[in-house]
């Protein structure tokens, strides 16, 4: 008999202890594999790709994403932790391994402490309250990074490769305060920095269908045409001429324009079908400031701003409005435009704005002028990564990508003592909550779990965690020497954003798994 909605997969139901135990088996497997990479003495993992080729890495999210188990329920446990790790990577660029280790520890502590005997709602309430308490401590204790600590952050995130860490830190220095750092593949086995002109906009893609790399959630357009509009674009027909021009020219196109839902959906569909390579972002800024910003941006890429309020007709959007960039990269944080060389007109605009800034003393206008200068004066440091083999190259690129994101995170919110020390010490600080038995147990569960990254780092280095007691904030274990020392002074640090994201996502996925009483999986052929 035919089923409404077409054929459906046969499902198998798993309840209570059976469901949780199989989820836990999957969780333990992924945590064991990923956890082995944690810390300065973390080990490498060799992954076989679909063609039987080896991929060597110490990147937690890469290891996690490679794991798929045959048992359906075990694999669901793996997938849930992979999602937590990926979310951490998306927010902070690092900390994926820590989030997985923490999530596993929370689940283990729940079982060891008899969590099933209490109301799960009460236990979760205790976990959440203590998590917020810990986050508050970390935010108060974080410190802003200086030039020296820039090297420390990048080195640690590059798996303690000092040479590579120094190169990454130099890339940020050369880009300047308003600059951006990106990564490319080197044409040789050398790794080096090249600085080009460019700018960063806070606007990002309007649909995930515009991704060119779904795993990293980015849209990357090579030598795109650029269309800039201050006026709404109500349907795709209005921009048909410039889209056809891009297709006939075999060029990608970036639309910086307020597009309505219909043209975005139409463009996304054509992107998926492979008819055109396109990305859409909103114009930066708002109100009266937007006009100046768009004109500056147009000058930078050699475009003309389409603006109906100035008499432009929406029915005559032609290719002569288009500019171009060498590259346009959009991620969750915004869009980077790479421009190989600024025009004479752009340089003249910069000098004019500098002169105007010297004469201006009004706070609002000063900020606006500074924003415009930042747009036009920004630089892009491109870190070209090279290696002798494809295996080495991929592993090196994983480390560089982690380090770039970690430095960005550190610059944004500051740093904490590394090596798991911040979470381990924060766990034993005083707290005051009015909680019942289940709530108190929740606090105890998270307290015990927070030590897990610190413990794992020591074990990976062949050290016994029982031999080390942290007696004051900031102290930790340098696993290369086996001695307790001030971590920040020793250059062993973690970005606050990384630690926060790892903790938030670990608690989220662990409590979701612990609240599960039924798993519905697809029936698979044995």
CATH code for position 19: 1.10.560.10
In terms of domains, do 329 and 208 share one?
A: yes
In terms of domains, do 231 and 325 share one?
A: yes
Residue showing tokens 């415009």: 372
- Whether 47 shows a pLDDT value over 80: the answer reads yes
**Which residue from 98, 65, 58 is spatially nearest to 79, judged by alpha carbons?**
65
pLDDT computed for residue 178 by the predictor: 60
Which is higher by pLDDT, 188 or 430? 188
pLDDT computed for residue 8 by the predictor: 64
Residue 275 placed within a domain: yes
pLDDT computed for residue 4 by the predictor: 45
In terms of domains, do 230 and 97 share one?
A: no
Lowest-confidence segment of 31-45, 302-316, 352-366, 504-518 by average pLDDT = 352-366
In terms of domains, do 87 and 208 share one?
A: no
The 3-state DSSP class for residue 171 equals helix
Lowest-confidence segment of 17-21, 136-140, 358-362, 522-526 by average pLDDT = 522-526
Q: What percent of the chain has pLDDT over 90?
A: 46
Tens digit of each residue's pLDDT (9 = 90 or more) over 270-291: 999 999 999 999 988 766 678 8
Among 341, 363, 389, identify where a domain stops: 341
In terms of domains, do 127 and 202 share one?
A: no
In terms of domains, do 17 and 131 share one?
A: yes
Could you tell me the pLDDT band of residue 3, with boundaries at 50, 70 and 90?
very low
Among 288, 321, 341, identify where a domain stops: 341
Tens digit of each residue's pLDDT (9 = 90 or more) over 166-213: 999 999 888 876 667 888 889 899 999 988 778 888 888 888 899 998
Could you tell me the pLDDT band of residue 301, with boundaries at 50, 70 and 90?
very high
Residue 35 placed within a domain: yes
Handedness of CA 400, 403, 409, 410 (dihedral sign): negative
The 3-state DSSP class for residue 196 equals strand
Could you tell me the pLDDT band of residue 1, with boundaries at 50, 70 and 90?
very low
Burial 62-88 (b: 16+ CB within 10 A, else e): bbbbbbebeebbbbbbbbbbbebbbbb
Residue 1 placed within a domain: no
In terms of domains, do 335 and 421 share one?
A: no
**Which residue from 335, 211, 204, 227 is spatially nearest to 272, judged by alpha carbons?**
211
CB 256 within 8 A of CB 305: no
Q: What is the average per-residue pLDDT within 240-267? A: 93
Q: What is the average per-residue pLDDT within 404-419? A: 88
Range of the domain at 276: 197-341
Q: What is the average per-residue pLDDT within 218-238? A: 92
Average pLDDT, the chain: 87
pLDDT computed for residue 512 by the predictor: 93
Among 309, 341, 373, identify where a domain stops: 341
Residue 185 placed within a domain: no
Q: In which element (H, E) is residue 115 found?
A: none
Residue 152 placed within a domain: no
In terms of domains, do 209 and 323 share one?
A: yes
Greatest Cα-to-Cα distance within the chain, rounded to the nearest angstrom: 81
pLDDT computed for residue 134 by the predictor: 94
In terms of domains, do 337 and 210 share one?
A: yes
Residue 371 placed within a domain: no
Could you tell me the pLDDT band of residue 2, with boundaries at 50, 70 and 90?
very low
Specify the CATH number for the domain of residue 313.
3.50.7.10
Q: Where are the beta strands (DSSP E) in 233-304?
A: 253-256, 278-281
In terms of domains, do 201 and 337 share one?
A: yes
Q: Where are the beta strands (DSSP E) in 202-317?
A: 219-222, 225-229, 253-256, 278-281, 305-306
Say how many domains are in the chain: 2
Tell me how far apart the alpha carbons of residues 223 and 411 are, in angstroms, rounded to a whole number.
Answer: 30
pLDDT computed for residue 356 by the predictor: 86
Residue 290 placed within a domain: yes
Tell me how far apart the alpha carbons of residues 252 and 457 are, in angstroms, rounded to a whole number.
Answer: 46
Lowest-confidence segment of 182-196, 442-456, 497-511 by average pLDDT = 182-196
Tell me how far apart the alpha carbons of residues 461 and 457 are, in angstroms, rounded to a whole number.
Answer: 6
Rg of the chain (C-alpha set): 26
Q: What is the average per-residue pLDDT within 494-521? A: 92
Q: How far is CA 422 from CA 104, 153, 427, in A?
A: 19, 15, 9
> Tokens representing 260?
């309505």
Tell me how far apart the alpha carbons of residues 301 and 434 are, in angstroms, rounded to a whole number.
Answer: 59
Q: What is the average per-residue pLDDT within 357-380? A: 79
In terms of domains, do 137 and 213 share one?
A: no
In terms of domains, do 253 and 332 share one?
A: yes
- Whether 106 shows a pLDDT value over 60: the answer reads yes
Tens digit of each residue's pLDDT (9 = 90 or more) over 343-366: 889 889 888 888 888 887 777 788
Angle among Cα 179, 185, 190 to the nearest 5 degrees reads 95
Tens digit of each residue's pLDDT (9 = 90 or more) over 398-409: 889 888 888 888
Half-sphere exposure (CA, 13 Å, Cβ side) for 228? 22
Q: What percent of the chain has pLDDT over 70?
A: 97
Residue 466 placed within a domain: yes
Tens digit of each residue's pLDDT (9 = 90 or more) over 121-174: 999 999 999 999 999 999 999 998 877 788 888 888 787 888 999 999 999 888
pLDDT computed for residue 11 by the predictor: 86
- DSSP label at 419? T
């Amino acid at each position: 008999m035919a089923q409404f909605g077409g054929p459906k997969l046969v499902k198998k139901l798993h309840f209570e202890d059976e469901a949780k135990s199989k989820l836990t088996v999957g969780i333990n497997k992924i945590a064991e594999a990923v956890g082995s990479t944690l810390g300065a003495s973390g080990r490498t993992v060799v992954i076989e790709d679909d063609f039987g080729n080896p991929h060597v890495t110490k990147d937690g999210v890469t290891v996690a994403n490679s794991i798929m188990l045959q048992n359906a329920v075990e694999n669901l446990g793996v997938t849930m932790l992979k999602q937590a790790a990926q979310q951490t990577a998306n927010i902070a660029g690092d900390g994926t391994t820590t989030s997985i280790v923490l999530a596993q520890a929370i689940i283990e502590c729940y079982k060891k402490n008899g969590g099933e005997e209490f109301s799960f709602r009460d236990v979760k309430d205790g976990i959440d309250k203590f998590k917020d308490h810990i986050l508050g401590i970390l935010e108060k204790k974080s410190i802003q990074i200086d030039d020296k600590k820039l090297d420390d952050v990048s080195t640690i995130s590059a798996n303690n490769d000092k040479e590579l860490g120094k190169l990454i830190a130099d890339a940020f220095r050369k880009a300047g305060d308003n600059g951006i750092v990106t990564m490319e593949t080197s044409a040789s086995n050398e790794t080096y920095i090249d600085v080009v002109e460019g700018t960063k906009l806070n606007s990002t893609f309007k649909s995930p269908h515009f991704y060119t790399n779904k795993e990293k959630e980015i849209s990357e357009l090579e030598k795109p045409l650029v269309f800039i509009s201050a006026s709404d674009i109500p349907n795709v027909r209005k921009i048909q001429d410039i889209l056809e021009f891009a297709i006939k020219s075999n060029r990608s196109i970036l639309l910086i324009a307020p597009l309505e839902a219909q043209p975005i959906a139409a463009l996304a569909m054509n992107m998926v079908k492979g008819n055109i390579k396109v990305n859409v972002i909103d114009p930066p800024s708002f109100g009266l400031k937007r006009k100046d910003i768009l004109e500056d941006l147009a000058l930078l890429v050699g475009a003309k701003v389409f603006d109906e309020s100035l008499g432009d007709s929406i029915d005559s959007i032609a290719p002569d409005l288009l500019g171009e960039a060498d590259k346009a990269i959009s991620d969750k944080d915004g869009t980077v435009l790479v421009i190989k060389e600024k025009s004479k007109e752009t340089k003249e605009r910069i000098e004019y704005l500098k002169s105007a800034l010297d004469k201006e003393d009004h706070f609002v206008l000063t900020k606006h002028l500074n924003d415009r200068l930042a747009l036009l004066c920004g630089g892009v440091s491109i870190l070209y990564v090279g290696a002798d083999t494809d295996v080495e190259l991929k592993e090196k690129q994983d480390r560089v990508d982690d380090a770039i994101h970690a430095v960005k995170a550190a610059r944004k919110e500051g740093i904490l003592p590394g090596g798991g020390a911040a979470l381990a010490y924060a766990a034993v600080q005083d707290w005051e909550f009015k909680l019942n038995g289940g709530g108190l147990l929740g606090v105890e569960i998270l307290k015990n779990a927070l030590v897990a990254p610190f413990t794992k780092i020591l074990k990976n280095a062949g050290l016994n965690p029982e031999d080390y007691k942290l007696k004051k904030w900031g102290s930790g274990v340098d696993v290369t020497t086996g001695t307790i020392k001030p971590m920040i002074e020793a250059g062993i640090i973690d970005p606050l954003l990384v630690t926060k994201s790892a903790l938030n996502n670990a608690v989220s996925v662990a409590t979701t798994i612990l609240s599960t009483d039924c798993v519905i999986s697809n029936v698979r052929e044995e």
